[in-house]
C-alpha cells in the first residue's frame, strides 16, 4: 500500500480552533461529516491567557450556536443587547445627531448578546470534544497542505500526516492554509491601535451598546452581566501607548471622561491588551480544496460588531454547502463546492468590508465638510424615517438575505 493509502482520512480538515474554526467543526458535525481540527490548544483559561476581549454576537449568530447545541453553555455568561446607540464625538461641523436603534422595532428578540471571548471559545471546544465526529489534534503548527487529485494531505510538524477531502482555513490573518492554496490578498494598515478590556461601573448600562465615533476612531462600550462593560477603544498609536502606560486609576478616570460619565464612576478595569488595526480581504475565498473562513478571509476594524459575525456566517455557509454535497455523495472538495462557497460569500464579505472600511475612514478623514454633511444627513434621515431605520437595522445588525439554514431560529 502507498503511504497516502495508509493515512487516516477525514471528510474535512480545519486549520485553526478559534471561535470561527470550532463553529465550523461543530456545524459540519451536525451535517454528519467526519472532521479533524488542528491547533496548538483548544479552549481558553481566561485572563491567565491575557484575553479580556468580549464578543457581540448578533442574533443570527446566536441562532447558529443554538442549532449546534453550544448556546446553552454560553448563556450563563451572556448579556442581551437591546439598544445600539451611535454618538458622534468628533466635534466636527456640521454636527451629526446621536441615534439609537432599538431591537424592539424589529421584534421580541434582542439584537444579540455580548459574551467574553474566552467563554465562547471554551464552550465551543468543550462541545467539539464530546462529538464522536470531531477529532481535536493538538500540534505546534501545520507545516504543509498539499492537494492531490482526490484529497488534500495535511502535515503537522509533530504528528502523522492525514488526508481530507476539504480543507477549511480558519488560521487567522497570516493563514498558512490561504498561502498553501495560492490565494492572494489585498491588505492595508490604519494608523490606529485598539485597546481591549472590560470595566466595572456604578450606573446600570441598561443593555445599551454605545459606539462613540471619535476623530481617532470608534470607542465601543458593550454591556456585560452586572454593572460591567466590554471596551474597544481605538486611538492613534501614540495615544494608545500613553493609555496603556497609565495605572488603573488614571485609565479609569480618562475612560469616564471619554464616555462622558454615562456609566457613572468606573470602579475597576481589567488587564488591557492593545493591537494595531489593519484590514484584509482575500482575492478569492476558495481555491483548490481549500475554503477560507474568518480572519483568513477578511479582517475588519471593530465597528458595528461585523468581524466575528461575518466569520460565523462563513462557517455556517460552508457547513451547509458541504453537507448538501455529502448527501449527494459528491466530492466535498470538488470544483462545485469550491465555486459555490466563493460565490455565496463574495457579496456579503465585500459589501461589509467596504462599508466598515468607509465608515472608519470617514472618522479619520471627516474634516472634509461635504463628507461630514453627508454623515449628518444620513443619520438624520434614519431618525426621521422608521421604515428606512428598520431596513438599515435588518441589513446591518440582523441580516436575513442569503443565510444558511443553521442561522435561522428553529
**35-49, 95-109, 126-140, 238-252: which has the minimum mean pLDDT?**
35-49
Q: What are the pLDDT digits (tens) for 9-28? A: 999 999 999 999 999 999 99
Whether 213 is in a domain gets the answer no
| Residue 19 to residue 37: CA distance in whole angstroms | 12
User: Residue 405: its pLDDT value, please?
Assistant: 93
User: Residue 86: its pLDDT value, please?
Assistant: 86
| Residue 252 to residue 254: CA distance in whole angstroms | 6
Range 105-132 average pLDDT: 93
Whether 250 is in a domain gets the answer no
Those residues with Cβ within 8 angstroms of residue 273's Cβ, 6 or more apart along the chain or in another chain: 50, 51, 52, 53, 195, 196, 197
Structure-block grid coordinates of residue 17 = 480552533
Whether 197 is in a domain gets the answer no
Burial profile 264-273: b = 16 or more Cβ within 10 angstroms, e = fewer = eebeebbebe
| Residue 130 to residue 61: CA distance in whole angstroms | 21
- The domain of 16 spans 3-187+278-407
pTM as predicted: 0.91
Whether 246 is in a domain gets the answer no
Whether 208 is in a domain gets the answer no
Whether 130 is in a domain gets the answer yes
Whether 99 is in a domain gets the answer yes
Range 91-110 average pLDDT: 80
Whether 304 is in a domain gets the answer yes
**How far from each other are the two terminal CA atoms of the chain, in whole angstroms?**
47
pLDDT at 371 over 80: no
Instruction: State how many domains the chain has.
Output: 1
Contact 180, 305 (CB under 8 A): no
CATH number of the domain where residue 364 is located: 3.50.50.60
User: Residue 242: its pLDDT value, please?
Assistant: 98
User: What pLDDT band is residue 1 in, cutting at 50, 70 and 90?
Assistant: very low
User: What pLDDT band is residue 104 in, cutting at 50, 70 and 90?
Assistant: confident
Give a three-class secondary structure readout of 68-104.
CCCHHHHHHHCEEECEEEEEECCCCCCCCCCEEEEHH
pLDDT at 47 over 50: no
Q: Supply the Cα-derived Rg of the chain in whole angstroms.
A: 22
| Residue 251 to residue 146: CA distance in whole angstroms | 49
* 94-98, 327-331, 351-355 — most confident range: 327-331
Contact 321, 275 (CB under 8 A): no
Contact 193, 237 (CB under 8 A): yes
Residue 357: helix, strand or coil by DSSP? helix
What percentage of the chain carries pLDDT values higher than 90? 70
pLDDT at 48 over 80: no
Q: Which residue has the cell 489534534?
A: 137
Q: What are the pLDDT digits (tens) for 348-364? A: 999 888 877 877 777 76
User: Residue 355: its pLDDT value, please?
Assistant: 79
Q: What are the pLDDT digits (tens) for 229-270? A: 999 999 999 999 999 999 999 999 999 999 999 999 999 999
Closest CA to 37 of 29, 25, 51: 25
Range 130-137 average pLDDT: 97
Amino acid at each position: 500500500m502507498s503511504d497516502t493509502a495508509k493515512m487516516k482520512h477525514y471528510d474535512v480538515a480545519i486549520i485553526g480552533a478559534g471561535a470561527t474554526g470550532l463553529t465550523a467543526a461543530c456545524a459540519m458535525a451536525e451535517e454528519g461529516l467526519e472532521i479533524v481540527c488542528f491547533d496548538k490548544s483548544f479552549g481558553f483559561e481566561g485572563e491567565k491567557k491575557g484575553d479580556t476581549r468580549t464578543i457581540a454576537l448578533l442574533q443570527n449568530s446566536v441562532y447558529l450556536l443554538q442549532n449546534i447545541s453550544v448556546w446553552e453553555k454560553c448563556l450563563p455568561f451572556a448579556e442581551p443587547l437591546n439598544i445600539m446607540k451611535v454618538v458622534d464625538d468628533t466635534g466636527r461641523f456640521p454636527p451629526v445627531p446621536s441615534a439609537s436603534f432599538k431591537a424592539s422595532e424589529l421584534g421580541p428578540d434582542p439584537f444579540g448578546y455580548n459574551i467574553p471571548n474566552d467563554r465562547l471559545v471554551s464552550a465551543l471546544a468543550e462541545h467539539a470534544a464530546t462529538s464522536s465526529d470531531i477529532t481535536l489534534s493538538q500540534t505546534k503548527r501545520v507545516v504543509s497542505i498539499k492537494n492531490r487529485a482526490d484529497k488534500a494531505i495535511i502535515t503537522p510538524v509533530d504528528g502523522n500526516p492525514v488526508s481530507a477531502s476539504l480543507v477549511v482555513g480558519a488560521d487567522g490573518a497570516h493563514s498558512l492554509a490561504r498561502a498553501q492554496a495560492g490565494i492572494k490578498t489585498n491588505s492595508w494598515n490604519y494608523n490606529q491601535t485598539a485597546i481591549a478590556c472590560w470595566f466595572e461601573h456604578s450606573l446600570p448600562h441598561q443593555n445599551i451598546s454605545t459606539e462613540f465615533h471619535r476623530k481617532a476612531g470608534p470607542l465601543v462600550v458593550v454591556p456585560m452581566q452586572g454593572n460591567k462593560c466590554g471596551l474597544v477603544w481605538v486611538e492613534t498609536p501614540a495615544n494608545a501607548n500613553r493609555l496603556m502606560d497609565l495605572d488603573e486609576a488614571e485609565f479609569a478616570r480618562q475612560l469616564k471622561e471619554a464616555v462622558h460619565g454615562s456609566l457613572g464612576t468606573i470602579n475597576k478595569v481589567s488587564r488591557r491588551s492593545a493591537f494595531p488595526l489593519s484590514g484584509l480581504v482575500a482575492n478569492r475565498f476558495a481555491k483548490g480544496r481549500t475554503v477560507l473562513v474568518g480572519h483568513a478571509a477578511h479582517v475588519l476594524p471593530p465597528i458595528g460588531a461585523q468581524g466575528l459575525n461575518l466569520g460565523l456566517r462563513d462557517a455556517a455557509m460552508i457547513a451547509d454547502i458541504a453537507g448538501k454535497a455529502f448527501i449527494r455523495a459528491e466530492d466535498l472538495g470538488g470544483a462545485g463546492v469550491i465555486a459555490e462557497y466563493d460565490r455565496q460569500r463574495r457579496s456579503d464579505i465585500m459589501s461589509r468590508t467596504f462599508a466598515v472600511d468607509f465608515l472608519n475612514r470617514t472618522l479619520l478623514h471627516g474634516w472634509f465638510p461635504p463628507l461630514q454633511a453627508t454623515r449628518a444627513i444620513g443619520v438624520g434621515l434614519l431618525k426621521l424615517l422608521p421604515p428606512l431605520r428598520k431596513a438599515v437595522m435588518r441589513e446591518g445588525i440582523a441580516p436575513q438575505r442569503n443565510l444558511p439554514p443553521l442561522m435561522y431560529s428553529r
